Amino acid sequence: MTTTDRASGALLLRQLREGRGWSWADLARALRDTARQLAVASLMNRQVASIQRTVARWESIADRTSPGDRYQFLLAQVYARTPAGDLAIGPGSDFDTLLEALRHFGTPPQRVRQLVELIGHGGRGDSGDLLMLLAPGTRSTIAAIQRDPSKLDHEVVSRLHEAVMAINGLVGTTPFVRLQLQLAPIVQSCRRLLELDQVGPRQELILLATTAYSLAGRLAFETRDDEAAMALYADATKAAGNLADRSHRAAVQTSHTMVTLHATDDLKVARTIARAATVDAHRGSSYAIRARAHAVHAEICARAGQADEAAAALDRAWKTVEQLTVDDPHGGFNADRLNGFDGLCALHAGDAGHAHDSLDKSVSALRLSRDAVQRGIVSTDLALARLRLGDPAACVNLLHEAVDITAATGGRVAAQRIRLARRDLRPWRTEDFLAELDDHIHDTLIGR
C-alpha cells in the first residue's frame, strides 16, 4: 500500500470518530463493549487504555498499524449503527465510510464483501452475528440449542465436533483471527451447556468442549493474545480431566507446552506441562499422542541443554511411532513430524549433519495445505542447519521460502524462528544475499 493510501485511511478513521464526538477512549470503550456483547474473548477483557493506544496508531500518519480482522469486525459492528441505534449501511453512511477507509488501508475486496454480508445478514449487535461466519448447517444447529438446550443429542454434538475439525483444517489457509471468530460461538455454546446439570450426552459434550477450548487456545496464541490462550488451555485441561481416556488431556498438554514455551520462553513451566503430558499419554489409548508427548518433552530437554534426557525421550518417541495404527483417533503425528523434532534436538546438541538430514526429510513430507504452518517452522530450522554446515547462501535461500510461507499462514512460531536465524546471519551483513533477505522480510512480514 502507498503512503497516500494509508494517510487517506487514517484520515477517514479520525473523521468517523470525531463525527460522533468521540475521543480515542470513547471509541476504545465502544469496541470493548461490542467485543463483550459478541463474546470476542481476545478483546472483551482488554483494558480501555490498551485499545486506545491501538486506535491512536491507526490514525497516525507515521505509524504502519492498520485494523486487523478482529478490529475490522468490531469497527463494522460499531459504525453499522447510528448513534440512535438504527442500522445504516447504505451509501453515505458511517459504515460505508469505514469500508472506504479499510480499502485505503489495503483490505482485500473479498474481506470488504464479507463484512458487508455479515452486517447485512446479521446486524443485531449480539452473539448471533458471529454465527454468520459459520456454515449454514452449523449455524442452525447452534441457534437451535441456544434456544432449547434439550435439543442437544448425539447427532448435534457430532455435527458441532465436525465443525470444530473443519475450522482446524483451515489452519494455514485462513487467517487465524477469522478462525477465532468462527470458533467463538461453539466455545460459547460449550460453556453454557456445561453449566447445565442435565443436558444430552455429557461425555461427548465434554470431549467437544476439550477440543474446542484447545483449538481456541492455539488460535489465541497465534494472534498474540497469550493471556486468553493460557486461560483456554486451562479450561481444556480441566474439561479433559473428566474423560476416561487420558490421551485427550495429554493432547491438550502437548499443545499447551509448546504455546507456553513460545509465548513465555519459560522452560521450567513448559517442562512441567510436558512431563504431565507424558504421564497422561501412557495412561491413554493413543500411540500417536504418546509419541508426540515424548517428542515435545525431548525438545524441551534439548533447549535446556539436557542432551542425554532429550536423546532418551526421542528414543521413546521413535519406538512409539513404530506402533502407530491407521485407526488411531488422534492420528496426525507420525515419523515425518517426528523427524522435525529429531532435527531440532540435533541442532541444539550441535550435530548439524544429523539435524540437516532429519529436517530435510520432514520438510519434504510436509506438502499438504494443512502442513503449511509446520513447514514454515521446519524450513527455518533446516535453514539454520545449512548455516551451521557452513553454507550461509543456502541458508538464506531456505529463509526466503520460510518468509513466504509465514506471510501466507501468519504462523507466529515460524516468525520467531526467522528472527533468530537472521540474528545468526549477522557475520554476513555486508553480503548482497543478506540485504535481499532483509528487503524480503521487511516487505513481506513487517511492511505489509
How large is the C-alpha radius of gyration of the chain?
23
Q: In DSSP terms, which residues pair with 81 in a beta bridge?
A: 87
Nearest of 387, 359, 367, 380 to residue 445 by alpha carbon: 380
pTM attached to this predicted model: 0.81
Query: What is the pLDDT of the chain when averaged over all its residues?
Result: 89
1 falls in which pLDDT band (50, 70, 90)?
very low
Residue 130: the pLDDT is 58
Q: For 104-132, b where at least 16 C-beta lie within 10 A, e where not — what string?
A: bbebeeebbebbbebbeebbebebbbbbb
Q: Return the axis-axis angle of helices 412-424 and 392-409, rounded to nearest 10°.
A: 160
The cell 521446519 sits on which residue? 378
Helices (H), 284-391: 287-303, 307-321, 335-349, 352-365, 372-388
- Each residue's pLDDT tens digit, 132-153: 566 667 777 877 887 788 888 8
Tracing cell 465436533 back to the chain, one arrives at 161
- Average pLDDT value for residue range 103-123: 76
Predicted confidence at residue 36, as pLDDT, reads 82
Instruction: For residue range 5-41, list pLDDT tens digits in order.
Output: 888 999 999 999 999 999 999 999 999 998 887 767 6
DSSP 80: T
Contact criterion met (CB below 8 Å) for 347 and 388: yes
Contact assessment for residue 296 and residue 341, using Cβ atoms and an 8 Å cutoff: yes
Q: Retrieve residue 312's grid coordinates.
A: 532418551
Domain segments of the chain as ranges: 3-123, 133-243, 244-333, 368-448
Residue of 121, 78, 120 whose CA lies nearest to 97: 78
Q: Is 107 left (phi over 0), alpha (psi -120 to 50) or beta?
A: beta
Q: Is the CB of residue 60 less than 8 Å from the CB of residue 10?
A: yes
Cα–Cα–Cα angle for 313, 315, 260, nearest 5°? 30
